[in-house]
Amino acid sequence: MNAILNSRRRFLKTAALAAASAPWITRFASTARAEGPDRKLGFALCGLGGLATGQLAPAIPKTKNCRLAGIVTGHPDKAEKWKAQYSIPDKNIYNYENMEKMADNPDIDVVYVATPNALHAEMAVKAAKAGKHVLCEKPMEVSVQKCRQMIDACKAANRLLAIGYRSRFDPNTQECIQLARQKVFGQTKIIEAGFGFRIGDPNQWRLKRDLAGGGALMDVGIYALQAARYLSGEEPAIVTALETKTDPVKFKEVDESITWQLKFPSGIIANCSTTFIVSGIDSYTLFAEGGAFGLSPAFNYDGNRGMRTDGRRIQYPPMDQFAAEMDDFAQCILQNKPSIVSGEEGLRDIRIVTAIYESIRTGKAVPLA
């Protein structure tokens, strides 16, 4: 009971602060106040492409604290389809141009941004200005400056921002993080991590610089980068990188394959790779003084599993990473606490991504202050 009261007090305080700094969210705040800490938050999916259709919408019914309340789409035909399939009322259907009207809609608490990478900031800022919390897909954005815009907009509106790093909610990954933190196999020395696949359609936005911001590194290499950071538990001090392009026509605008190394302050070295040219690279291994462990596959939606040199297996029952990620964000909102996959966490990755590209361009090691 005390916990509920404390949480309610914290919430009222936040809502009052929010209302003071952002008067347009008063209506939203008063509706949320009327309900308890176990309520289901209304999510609006923004960008109804492959991820939203195939993963996010099907994950929502598996959550405890989330419900599909609305959509944001540029396609009226998709709006009709989703409206019928998920019984979404007309008042909760928006397009990219009228998202600010969400400020008048207390049914929507969170906007989940799942558009191409270079549109994340635009959508996140609009959502925050309408008084909505923002869960944004990875990579957070295509530049440090645009990541900062997102963080600033959410701070100004007193709304939470989190990045869709679903792997952090996979129990297989969580066991590896625990093993590393508790030094079960001793001090970490070397981390190997890679994620890549053979990309199909040569005309898709993932191969266009203005929409993707980069190629394999932005799309899937970021998972290997995250792994190096969450396994080491440190921020890299220096980065070196090398790129190769065997299909300069298909990969005219973006990177095809990159290997990079991170050196961490304690002396841990991470050796990472990513590619858009071959499938099957999907693993990490942490080598410590007294043994090793890791996952292979490591970054799939399901079926991830791994090994430990003490002979134990790492393999948890199937679960939905997206549902766990959305529920975690809902709990952060309901309990007014920051997410472990906050905007700042997304920004850290994009800073390193930028340094990797700089190292490729200059041929030099790039220090990260």
Closer to ligand NAD by CB, 15 or 114: give it.
114
Handedness of CA 196, 200, 202, 207 (dihedral sign): negative
Closer to ligand NAD by CB, 134 or 179: give it.
134
Q: Which amino acid is at 176?
A: C
The catalytic residue among 94, 112, 165, 223 is: 223
- Closest contact distance (angstroms) between CB of 249 and ligand NAD is 21
Closer to ligand NAD by CB, 18 or 219: give it.
219
- Closest contact distance (angstroms) between CB of 278 and ligand NAD is 19
The span from the CA of 130 to the CA of 112, in Å, is 14
Closer to ligand NAD by CB, 49 or 291: give it.
49
DSSP 320-343: -HHHHHHHHHHHHHHHT---TTBH
Q: Name residues whose C-beta falls within 8 Å of residue 29's C-beta, 6 or more positions apart in sequence.
A: 15, 16, 18, 19, 131
Contact in structure between 72 and 110 (CB atoms under 8 Å): no
Sheet holding 366-367, edge to edge: 313-314, 306-308, 291-295, 281-288, 188-196, 269-275, 257-263, 238-244, 366-367
- The residue of the chain with the least Cβ separation from ligand NAD equals 49
The span from the CA of 300 to the CA of 305, in Å, is 10
- Closest contact distance (angstroms) between CB of 96 and ligand NAD is 7
Among 129, 117, 115, CA closest to 75: 115
H helix or E strand, kind and range, residue 243: strand 238-244
Closer to ligand NAD by CB, 205 or 287: give it.
205
Q: Which residues of 255-265 are buried (b: 16+ CB within 10 A; e: fewer)?
A: bbbbbbbbbbe
Told to judge if 126 belongs to the known catalytic residues of this protein, a careful annotator would answer no
Strand 110-113 and strand 133-136: pairing? parallel
- Closest contact distance (angstroms) between CB of 152 and ligand NAD is 20
Question: In this structure, how many other beta carbons lie within 10 angstroms of the beta carbon of residue 206?
Answer: 19
- Residues within the interface to ligand NAD (CB under 6 A): 47-52, 74, 114-117, 119, 137-138, 164, 166, 205, 211, 219
H-type alpha helices, the chain: 2-21, 26-33, 50-51, 57-59, 76-86, 120-129, 144-156, 171-181, 209-212, 216, 222-232, 321-335, 343-362
Question: In this structure, how many other beta carbons lie within 10 angstroms of the beta carbon of residue 318?
Answer: 8
Structure tokens at 185: 């196999």
- Closest contact distance (angstroms) between CB of 114 and ligand NAD is 5
- Closest contact distance (angstroms) between CB of 154 and ligand NAD is 18
Closer to ligand NAD by CB, 81 or 250: give it.
81
- Closest contact distance (angstroms) between CB of 166 and ligand NAD is 5
Closer to ligand NAD by CB, 114 or 323: give it.
114
Told to judge if 96 belongs to the known catalytic residues of this protein, a careful annotator would answer no
Active site residues: 138, 223
